[in-house]
Structure 1
Amino acid sequence: MPTKLLSSLEEFKAISDPYRMQIIELLSEASEPMTVSEVAAKLGDVPAKTHYHMKKLEKAGIVSIVETREVNGILAKYYRPTADSFQVDKTFGLLPGAERISAVQTSITSLVNTYRKEWLRRFGDKDQVFGSAYYTMVSLTEERALELSRRLEGLMKEFIGDDKKAQPNEKMYQLFVSFFGEKHSGEAPNEGDDGQDGPKAKEDSPPPTE
Structure 2
Amino acid sequence: MDNYIKTFKALSDPTRLKIVWLLTNINEKICVSEIVEVLEEYQYNVSRHLKVLKKANLIEEVKEGKWVFYYLSPIKDEFSHIIKNSISSIPEKEMIKEMTKCKALLSHREKKIN
Matched, 1:77 2:68: yes
**Distance in 1 between residues matched to 2:31 and 2:54, nearest whole Å:** 13
Q: CA 1:173 to 1:44, structure 2 compared with 1: closer, same or farther past 3 Å?
A: closer
TM-score normalised according to structure 2 size: 0.60
Which of 86, 92, 105 matches 1:172?
A: 92
Secondary structure (helix, strand or coil) at the match of 2:68 reads strand
Secondary structure (helix, strand or coil) at the match of 2:92 reads coil
- Identify which range, 54-63 or 75-84, moves more after superposition: 75-84
Which of 36, 39, 45 matches 1:40?
A: 36
Aligned counterpart, 2:10: 14
Which runs of 4 or more aligned residues in structure 1 lie more than 3 Å from their structure 2 counterparts after TM superposition? 83-88
Q: Which has the higher contact order (CA 8 A, sep 6+)?
A: 2
Are the counterparts in 2 of residues 33 and 79 from structure 1 also a CA contact under 8 Å? yes
Deviation by residue 1:126-181 (Cα, 9 ceiling, x = unmatched): xxxxxxxxxxxxxxxxxxxxxxxxxxxxxxxxxx59xx9xxxxxx6267xxxxxxx
Matched, 1:68 2:63: yes
Structure with more helix by fraction? 2
Structure 1 unaligned blocks of 5 or more: 1-5, 89-159, 165-170, 175-210
**Distance in 2 between residues matched to 1:83 and 1:173, nearest whole Å:** 26
Which of 15, 26, 43 matches 1:30?
A: 26
**Distance in 2 between residues matched to 1:86 and 1:44, nearest whole Å:** 29
Give 1:172's aligned amino acid: E
Are the counterparts in 1 of residues 3 and 56 from structure 2 also a CA contact under 8 Å? no
TM-score normalised according to structure 1 size: 0.35
What is the number of residues matched between the two proteins?
87
Give 1:52's aligned amino acid: R
Are the counterparts in 2 of residues 26 and 39 from structure 1 also a CA contact under 8 Å? no
Q: Percent identity?
A: 26
Secondary structure (helix, strand or coil) at the match of 1:8 reads helix
Give 2:64's aligned amino acid: R
Are the counterparts in 2 of residues 64 and 81 from structure 1 also a CA contact under 8 Å? yes
Q: CA 1:20 to 1:69, structure 2 compared with 1: closer, same or farther past 3 Å?
A: same
RMSD between aligned residues: 3.2
Radius of gyration: which is bigger?
A: 1
**Distance in 2 between residues matched to 1:61 and 1:19, nearest whole Å:** 17
